[in-house]
Structure 1
């Protein structure tokens, strides 16, 4: 495969990517790889040799992130703690809006070289970031100092590792779980300690829970959920091993796993056991908190907010993401974002960014991040921190999320799909779900239409980056 010049390629890749992400807009849920390039010579991103900053001259590392509100406050605390912990590096955290907005700004900064040394990018931007040739893989730093990654969560690294290499370091990580109203379960004669685990069990429970103006549940029309339903069945979303054994060229959205899932979802809505509230997860959260729906799907990162919003009104139960009774081994895919080191900054800045990345991965920082945001710790030892133990006692629902992560079977399905047009693919998936739920198309027809469009977009993207 022909290697492309970084400066020549980046504008093409970014312009194509930004056109797609602009069409999608920001993510409607909490933020929610590919094959490494091969050729006769290594890209500039892989030849960088970071140098250790001199203690007498602190290096400034600019970090662009997309964490706002309480998440932003947690980021600021971590940065402050890092800066106070040593004198060689000073990190400046700069909020850049949504993930899409941040990537657009990165594009504009590349030629002027006034961009960050470190950037937070959502998980579905992984293929694009590798193709951009704008990064120094964190594997370079790992190999140079023999940094031990065995302390990190395997199923989280599994997503970001491509051909045995980590291009970025996981930072904020989540997966979807089932939230349910224990009080409504008890009133309907259901065991409040046994949430449904299969499509069939959920349908039966939703039917019993639908009464007196209350609905059995509501799932936001969110492409991330469909991706998760695929993985939970051990089914791949893209051809060529989910785009990991070789570059993806075709969407498998209309395969049996997709048709089975959307048919089940549509039947629940048709039976009025599930109410369709559209694409916004905020709307399903509000309906759940108000006691209008008994079950919903949402990110683990929403757990504290959901539990707090219903405090004193009813007890919140949590369960694994449901799957068909005859599903193959699978599990959940991690959502969220990771941290990339940009290669157009000085070697000292890149090394400074790596020092900060290591600080963030430490168990103490991960414990703080987990407790104050709801995102998973990426470090196993964080669960031994007293802060995390106390939080687990206060919010025992977190154990469901942790158990679900740890019980996930590592395979190409749960490793997650990678493609350069992922943001638009999610939008097309959501459109297909809407068409089926609103009786405009049958599930298979809707998914086939979306799959064809996604496949075409993948082809266009692959041509743009010269693959």
Structure 2
């Protein structure tokens, strides 16, 4: 057994995978020791036999178009490696299928995991750290070229657990014409979430058009807290030596933000489009709302949908320690039952996706941020003004505890509680009582997860 890991066989004996899965799912580029080889014309695995890899992915829309095109190009360039890309639905759907696959033994070779499933995937013992697997060319992903805040997010106990390939941060898209009609200067970037809400109210008062739209999602609770430099769970957002054991959702600053947002909905300043991000985009693209808070991954879809030129602001950060928490996804290498040839082929594919040139392309085509520092540097001044805002935000995001976000295997279950709270608050429920209930439910989820983990 390799140091620091538990074999899947031992985990099955203890019943941990099943226990983790039930609790987590019921509710719901590269730095290497050598020059990275991202376009090996032969893809020779060294075994003399072709290797076929199953790659489970969950992105859709423009990002899916880009990702599947990259898979096709990888396959064309490698004679002995074929990647079979299989869409598995949402991240929640994919994790549920992974749980079933543990029982059947039909596991994928590589899986794209959503950000909040990172601790869960790490804890299952199904995966192997990318730094422990050499590609067919002998290169090893050491993570040295990762943007620091991203390396921080995906590191457990000092070891990089997976390879981020499609990472997002929140951004603010605005309709410049509507802002100017309201006398708002688009060059004046809001200084905090509260300031952004005030700008939206100003636009609504002057034009009669909704000033803001944002789809109802628990992600915003995490992002608004991080923007104010607040820790979302204790101790230390779960990124220190001790696991997270409680959520913090009811500080005065957090409650104040949600009371403010509730007022925006009641006054008509915020257009409530529900939980569907596509509905929010449609409202913005049809000029029913002047400002939209979204993920940077929306750029490609927004370019398709909007018939006007839109501008971008970074997520307003009201604290020196604050910053946008990385979202999106990373890819994980599954090692249970895998031969050395299969692992080497999988590492080759993952290093290809993480390479600087591919990371730059992913950003330009989709809006998912480059995870490679080399790619980030190469893109400076070479992209549109809208895209540059997202690059600048990533480059200046502090490598702090708040910007790391909360790490716990109970995150998905807790998000269900937060999702209910967000919807209830927008519907007019008592803000503090609603968030106190969500906090209690989240804490119960963490306690249950830690008990099962043993």
Band the TM-score falls in, shorter-chain normalisation: 0.7 to 0.9
Q: Residue 203 and residue 337 in structure 1: after superposition, are their counterparts in 2 closer, same or farther (change >3 A)?
A: closer
Match of 2:385 in 1: 396
What is the RMSD computed on CA atoms of the aligned residues? Answer: 2.5
SS in 1 for 2:270: coil
**Is 2:194 the partner of 1:193?**
no
**Which runs of 5 or more structure 2 residues have no equivalent in the other structure?**
29-43
Whole-Å separation in 2 of the counterparts to 1:68 and 1:421 = 25
Identify if the C-alpha distance between structure 1 residues 96 and 438 changes in structure 2 by more than 3 Å, giving closer, same or farther. closer
Q: Retained in 1: the 8 A contact 2:113–2:332?
A: yes
Q: Is the 8 A contact 2:47 2:341 kept in 1?
A: no
Structure 1 unmatched runs, 5+: 25-51
In the alignment, which residue of structure 2 is the partner of 1:141? 133
Does the 8 Å contact 1:63/1:93 carry over to 2?
Answer: yes
Q: Residues 130 and 140 of structure 2 are in contact (CA less than 8 Å); yes or no, is this contact kept in structure 1?
A: no
Match of 1:38 in 2: none
Q: Per the alignment, in what secondary structure is the counterpart of residue 413 of structure 1?
A: helix
Alignment deviations for residues 77-96 of structure 1 (CA, whole Å, 9 cap, x no partner): 22222233333432222222
- Secondary structure in structure 2 of the residue aligned to 1:439: coil
Deviation per CA, 1:200-233, whole angstroms, max 9, x where unpaired?
A: 4323322221145411112222111110111111
Give the Å deviation of 1:406.
1.1
Is 1:74 aligned to residue 63 of structure 2? no
Report the secondary structure of 1:248's partner residue: coil
Task: Show the 5 A alignment for 1:194-209.
Answer: 194-209=188-203
Q: What is the TM-score normalised by the length of structure 1?
A: 0.85
Residue of structure 1 equivalent to 2:252: 256
TM alignment of 1:64-463, pairs within 5 A: 64-141=56-133, 147-211=141-205, 212-245=207-240, 246-311=242-307, 314-324=308-318, 327-344=319-336, 345-383=338-376, 392=383, 395-441=384-430, 443-463=431-451
Number of residue pairs matched by the alignment: 429
Aligned-partner Cα distance in 1 for 2:171–2:89: 26
Q: 1:106/1:191 Cα in 2 relative to 1: closer, same or farther (>3 Å)?
A: same
2:153, 2:79 → 1: CA distance? 34
Q: In the TM superposition, what whole-angstrom CA distance separates every residue of 1:31-54 from its partner, at most 9, and x where no partner exists?
A: xxxxxxxxxxxxxxxxxxxxx932
Deviation at 1:14, TM superposition (A): 4.2
CA offset digits 1:374-394 (Å, max 9, x no partner)? 2112123325668x976x1xx
Shift of 1:439: 2.4
TM-fit CA distance, 1:147: 4.3
Secondary structure of the corresponding residue to residue 216 of structure 1: strand
Q: Distance in 2 between matches of 1:82 and 1:176?
A: 30
Assess if the C-alpha contact under 8 Å between 1:184 and 1:294 holds in 2. yes
Q: How has the CA–CA distance of structure 1 residues 436 and 231 changed in structure 2, closer, same or farther, with 3 Å as cutoff?
A: same
Length-normalised TM-score, structure 2: 0.87
User: Whole-Å Cα distance in 2 between the matches of residues 462 and 440 of structure 1?
Assistant: 31
1:46 equivalent in structure 2: none
